[in-house]
Amino acid sequence: MLKEGQKLAIDWLPDKNSKEPVYKQIVNYINRKISSGDWTIGSKLPSQRFLAECFSVNRSTVVRALEELCSYGILEGTTGKGTMVTSNTWSVLMSNAPPDWGDYLRAGTFQENVPTVQMINKLEFEKDIVRLGTGELSPDLFPAEMMREVLQKLPDRFPSLNYLGPLGLPELRRALSLRLKKQGIDADPSCILITSGSLQALQLISVCMLKPGSVVYTESPSYLKSLQVFPSAGMKLTGIPMDRDGIQYWDIGNQTENSRNEAAVDMEDALLYTIPTFHNPTGTLMSETRRKELFRFCSNHRLPIIEDDAYGELWLEEEPPKPLKTMDHHGMILYLGTISKTLAPGLRIGWLVGPESVVERLGDVKMQIDYGASSLSQWALAELFSSGLYDKYLIDLRHKLKLRRDFALSLLEKHFRGLAQWDVPKGSFYIWLKLLVDIPTDQLFQRMLKEQILINPGNIYDFQKNKSIRLSYSYAEEVSLENGIEKMADVIRKMR
């Protein structure tokens, strides 16, 4: 291993006959050297002139490669001091070895709450059951006319429905790139990977980029806790408390204080999964200040972030603060988007935005799993975005969701005063009902089930016992919501 300042050995030449651009080969070569540990953090690169000679290329080719590596945060150039290896974020987490599915999906020890999640997943497809916690839009809110318009135009758009390349439909990635730009996220289409929903994005990250034993920090409670995707791959979920401004990031520091002195590796093998905007299940909107502080904290500790922005477009009164990703100029954040919450989970389309090298790697593995997401879904979405129909639909949807929220709040005022506390959500689907009475929510779940009413108890989202209920105003019909909330209040009173 090389020490700081020591000269790095170059034992490789680009293949000028390859289809791959020479500068890209150099990027990959340096990335490999750093990933493998041959070139350690802190080591200094030779001069551009020297590198150009070694690789037998023009200096401009070297400059282009180094610029790309700097943009990933892998290298850092300081005038007069040369270029140094600096990164231990994604590109270094990311191994070039074949992915290790390890003990994937073989959850070592199933958590107590998992049977509840399984039961919810199963019962959601039964008829005649009222769903008070479902994180989906009601079929009433489905924009049938807009979809008709889109589907009619599609046959003029696609020449066929053949296989697509590993990153997904170029037209969709271009449309997303434009949308993201409006939000302040600068993402080239080559930095966007289309996934079969966000769950698949998490699956790809867990399998390709994290080692078993890695720590995934997340809000406590968190939707992530109800999924098996990280624990099944051998990762340890660690809950960090929240306040009304979002995750209390300083507790990450406290929890790792001991390990931080041991080796940088401990922070290299950790990451943060966060839903800053309309957090699931609490509905919390992370404040702008907290966002800045959190990003600074993670930058300082080189803690990579998965930012899940499934709900960001579902604000009800005013636009939320910009995503964390807008602050990220060094590829520290993998940003996840999806159409599942705003329009239709059945399309099975999500997207992941990150450094090109990460996106390419995940795309290659995706091809080994399912050869890509439905191209029909992708074309429909590309048309929706580029036609402007989607933005019009969102305006209408926000209005309808706000009516639903206000109706739910009025029902809570009527039936839950004294029984629970809640905040008024500024967007998305959920009201987090914190029960004031001491009853076991698992029993409440069972009692409600006998009434043909399905609720989502907070236990399935939390790292400790939780006495809250995730109430959703997006799914159930008005009358069901009314009867359901009244019934729940009755049952709770009886249980008290």
- Looking only at the bridges linking them, the beta strands covering 350-353 and 192-195 are antiparallel
Least spacing, CB of residue 232 vs its own copies, in Å: 8
- Of 277 and 338, which has the nearer Cβ to its own copies? 338
User: Considering only CA atoms, which of 151, 197, 169 is closest in space to residue 348?
Assistant: 197
- Residue 161 beta carbon to its own copies: minimum distance, rounded to whole angstroms: 4
Number of Cβ within 10 Å of residue 414's Cβ equals 12
Per the structure block, which two tokens stand in for 340? 């599942």
3-class secondary structure, 209: coil
Residue closer to its own copies (CB basis): 8 or 344? 344
Instruction: CB nearer to its own copies: give 131 or 325.
Output: 131
CB of 186: closest distance to its own copies in angstroms?
25
**Binding residues for its own copies, per CB under 8 A?**
19, 97-107, 121, 123-126, 136-139, 142, 144-145, 147-148, 151-152, 154-155, 159-165, 196-197, 199-200, 203, 207, 228-229, 232, 343-349, 365, 367-377, 380
3-state secondary structure 212-281: CCCEEEEEECCHHHHCCHHHHCCCEEEEEEEECCEECCHHHHHHHHHHHCCCCHHHHCEEEEECCCCCCC
CB 306 within 8 A of CB 336: yes
Nearer to its own copies, 162 or 300 (CB): 162
Beta-carbon contacts of 255 under 8 Å, excluding residues fewer than 6 positions away, are: 238, 240
Smallest distance from its own copies to CB 110, Å: 8
CB 27 within 8 A of CB 36: no
Instruction: Fill in the DSSP letter of residue 187.
Output: -
What is the C-alpha R_g of the chain?
Answer: 24
Number of H-type helices and E-type strands within the chain: 17, 16
Closer Cβ to its own copies, 70 or 227, answer by number: 227
Q: Are 280 and 223 in contact (CB under 8 A)?
A: yes
Copy the structure tokens of residue 442. 């698992």
In angstroms, what is the minimal distance from the CB of 149 to its own copies?
Answer: 9
Question: Considering the complex, what minimum distance in angstroms separates the CB of residue 271 from its own copies?
Answer: 21
Q: Which is nearer to its own copies, 170 or 321 (CB)?
A: 170
Least distance from C-beta 378 to its own copies, angstroms? 8
Question: CB 369 → its own copies: shortest distance, Å?
Answer: 7
Angle at 441 between CA 120 and CA 439, to 5 degrees: 165
- Cα 408 from Cα 142, distance rounded (Å): 20
Give me the least distance between CB of 398 and its own copies, in Å please.
Answer: 18
- Rounded-to-integer distance, Cα 307 and Cα 23, Å: 30
Residue (125 or 182) nearer to its own copies, CB: 125
Q: Name the minimum Å distance from CB 99 to its own copies.
A: 5
Using the minimum distance from each CB to its own copies, give the nearer residue, 347 or 433: 347
What single-letter amino acid sits at 148? R
The DSSP code for 321 is P
The residue among 1 and 97 lying less far from its own copies, judged by its C-beta, is 97
Nearer to its own copies, 105 or 178 (CB): 105
DSSP-derived 3-state class of residue 437 = coil
Burial 364-382 (b: 16+ CB within 10 A, else e): ebbeeeeebbbbebbbbbb
Contact 381, 409 (CB under 8 A): no
